[in-house]
Structures are given as structure tokens and as C-alpha cells.
Structure 1
């Protein structure tokens, strides 16, 4: 697998997890369940999924790019 393929596969997995967590959170909001153990579980999941996504984006060196700010 190429570096680009690796990036896409990992990005897809992280986005899918974040999307699932956010969807679950929105379902609880629609059901007016904004407290309790399930709300705590889902908000923790959503927060952690978001943090994993942002960490991945901020620590990756993207294929075909350099660290030179002039190339941005």
C-alpha cells in the first residue's frame, strides 16, 4: 500500500468513528437524553474520536508536501 493509501485508510477509519459518535450524540439530543450514564459515555466517545482525528491531522506529514511554509 502506498503512503497515500495508508493515509486515506486511516483517515477513513477515524472519520467513520467520529461520524458514528456524533450521530449517536445527535440521537440522544433528539430523544432529550442530555444527562445520565449513556450521555456521558457518548459525549466521551465523541470527544475522544474528535481528539484522535485532530491529532492524526496535526501529526501527519502529507504525501507530496514539504515542511516549507512557502509551499503552503
Structure 2
């Protein structure tokens, strides 16, 4: 059994969320405001749960298929 030296993050900040999804900053904020992508506020810091990004992208992919 090996130990993963770099565990996968469970949250990312806005710039990283944009980078890993390819969604622009303004569009990401629109999606957050619309409730499509969840966020967590810690003080003044906004964190985006990675699972929330994944679920959003899955929903988008399913809508295109239908």
C-alpha cells in the first residue's frame, strides 16, 4: 500500500478553480451568484469545493447529451 505524497485538494481558491476548469473569472462569479457552483467563505477568502466544480461540469455534460 502506497501513500499519496500529494493528496487531492478538497477546495481551491477562485484563480485555481478558473485554471482547472477553463472557466473565466467573470463567468465563474456569475455561476457562483446563480447558485450553480457552491462556495465556502473563510473570513475574506472564498473557497470552491472541487466536488462542486465536478458536479457542475457533469450536469453541463448531461444537458448537452440530452
- Name the TM tier (shorter chain): 0.3 to 0.5
Higher helix proportion (structure 1 or 2): 1
TM-score by length of 2: 0.34
Q: Which has the larger radius of gyration?
A: 1
Higher strand proportion (structure 1 or 2): 2
